[in-house]
Structure 1
């Protein structure tokens, strides 16, 4: 293109840019996110709690609208995300069908976490197999639990103690087999906070 200049200037029209964007693989956003997180770590620093990077996990229902040749198509899905609250950034996000549970989504992302992370989970995640899986991978976690945690949780809640070591039952055999959990029982520190149990 010529912009009132004596030499050519390379440029792209809006139409060409839109066409090129359609061929962009989704994996490029994963690479860009990792590059951005590396820059944040190098130049700003990642906030830490007692030396651990805090990572929050959650899933939300979303409605997606796409177009085919003749009409709009509305689809329902779930988006699962690992979020870094200290820098207000996403570590990773993935779309799922509505038939996938939040615990399964988290399990599929455990390789993104390590022993220097503190995973924060809401009350939708408690399960003995998941806690065993986190302990086997040496991933620190804080999870809200209510009375569905079984007899050990109920006993602790009724005790009136502020904190205690709680021994949770082992995963059942199908879960232990499906999720390759070898740990028979989970011993966790329970903290009572505003009448809710944190594990």
Structure 2
């Protein structure tokens, strides 16, 4: 494998924890959360937001469609920043270490237009990428091959020269199918080691 020319970060569960079920458990209790998630496909609702549909309108329409869970569904909008938290400091440090080392860093993330605007304010490090490929703005999302192709075309970097970290196996498989170098993110420690093995950071730079 050639030495990567750029590193591509997913955001949710790589740089920021994204665990809606955990938040709901803390607010409405596990039993009620399980009942709601069994009746309402909230992740499919969120997928529509990630493809560019209006965040507020999509969540409120879903709440109206399921009146027995309306108050809880509205929390997806009202408590969104609490669901998308906290940041993963070690991953943020690796992002900054790569930039300091002169390695281009890109974001490739399924994120809504409005939710990403909220996240940028809460997490200023999201503005530190050299390039950002956000699904809501692009109207396409992982793991569809089109979004990977769009990043390749825009950056001008060959697929085999991209190193991509994502926590979802389907997103990783789609990138690998295009020839990208990949890392299935399970935690920042293993990601740090992968960056060292790729020749992008020294152990000291990676905090190892």
Question: TM class, shorter-chain normalised?
Answer: under 0.3
Structure with higher helix content: 2
More strand per residue: 1 or 2? 1
TM-score (norm 1): 0.26
TM-score, normalising length: structure 2: 0.25
Higher relative contact order (CA 8 A, sep 6+): 2
